[in-house]
Amino acid sequence: MYIAVLLVDDHVLMRRGLRLLVEEEQGMHVVGEAGDGGEAVSLAEKLSPDVVVMDITMPGLSGIEATRRIISSRPQTKVVALSIHAGKRFVEGMLQAGAAGYILKKSTSEELIKAVRTVVQGEVYLSPSITGVVVSQYVEILSDGPTPSSEVKLSRSEREMLRLMVSGCSAEETASVLQVGVQTVETSWRQLTEKLGVENTAELAEVARQEGVVGRTETQASTGDRPASFALAGDVDRLPLTPDSRAQASQLLTQRELEVLELVAEGLSNKEIAARISRSIETVKKHIYNTYQKLDADSRVTALVRARDLGILPRS
């Protein structure tokens, strides 16, 4: 008897690699592929897979919501999350939605196969790097079905802090805007990332954009006459992006600009990036500015989203 697997990832090359990996295994067969959450829900209903290997951050319907819908209509189907994100918010979100497994994309191919076989047997599989106190409570109750999703409540000041964080502002810049001390800003940043269950700025940007922590209506009401550098997550997809700009962006970024962009995606500050590449902060700022110009972006979060949409950086 074959284990029927549905692959869900918005990158075609990723899905092709996963298909080759799964179909090399005896007793496994890929019954379909989906490029977004909405398509995954439809195919799960149509193809009745035993296991869905689910990406989390995708255009449109997120992997978390797609998992919730699939488990709601087909509780016998097992979902294994496959993501680069190890943050508490992402892991708990998938487990709350009903996923039976969660592994990281840096995992070995053997671990993915092990995860699929484990969940089919009715057990839970989590990558060793994400197990522990953070998710133990969810592992214990998974057998009772998905739990209600908890909504994070942010105060007005926390939303303001979030906007500045995902816009790539430094602690000094944020302190100036909020008229508080730098130490207060740094403490608030740590508290906010912990509250949202993220590990770095890249995950924070994904949460703000994909999970709607900051809505478009709210951002319009609070940004006022701020300069374009304060563009927010809700406005990212409204910027023009043409086939020509896609091709030009992938060709025009220099190796150094790409290196800096990858460090930005890791959530490093300009100072940390400068130390990593042994260059001055001013040089780093210049590389970031040039990258903004080439990607037609006006903030870090916009640049990261553009780079992922263009395939310059992995989406998840």
Poorest-pLDDT segment among 22-36, 51-65, 142-156, 260-274: 142-156
Whether pLDDT at 191 is above 90: no
> Which pLDDT score is estimated for 19?
93
For 124-164, give the DSSP string. Answer: -EE-GGG-SHHHHHHHHHGGG-PPPPPPPP--HHHHHHHHH
Cα separations (Å) of 242 from 231, 295, 296, 309?
20, 11, 11, 11
* 284-315 tens-digit pLDDT: 888 888 888 787 776 677 778 778 777 787 76
Output the DSSP codes for 16-50. HHHHHHHHTSTTEEEEEEESSHHHHHHHHHHH--S
Each residue of 107-139: pLDDT tens digit?
888 999 999 999 999 999 998 877 654 455 555
**Residue range 73-103, pLDDT digits in tens:** 999 999 999 988 877 778 888 988 999 999 9
Residues of the chain above pLDDT 90, percent: 28
Q: For 30-44, 210-224, 301-315, which range has the lowest pLDDT when averaged over its residues?
A: 210-224
229 pLDDT band, cuts 50/70/90, is very low
Measure the CA–CA gap between 316 and 312, rounded to whole angstroms.
12
Q: What mean pLDDT, rounded, does the chain reach?
A: 76
Task: Please report the pLDDT score of residue 33 as a whole number.
Answer: 96
Last residue of a domain, one of 199, 220, 237: 237
pLDDT band at 178 (very low <50, low <70, confident <90, very high): confident
Alpha-carbon span 122 to 11, nearest angstrom: 29
Contacts of 121 (CB under 8 A, 6+ apart): none
State the residue range of the domain holding 186. Answer: 156-237
The two tokens of residue 226 are 């701020």
Q: What is the dihedral of CA 124, 12, 26, 82, to 10 degrees?
A: -10
- CATH number (domain holding residue 290): 1.10.10.10
State the Cα–Cα distance between residues 72 and 69, nearest whole angstrom: 5
Assess if residue 60 is contained within a domain.
yes
Mark whether 93 and 132 lie in a shared domain. yes
Q: Are 223 and 245 within one domain?
A: no
Phi, psi (rounded to 5 degrees) for 314: -65, 140
Residue 63 sits in the same domain as residue 184: no
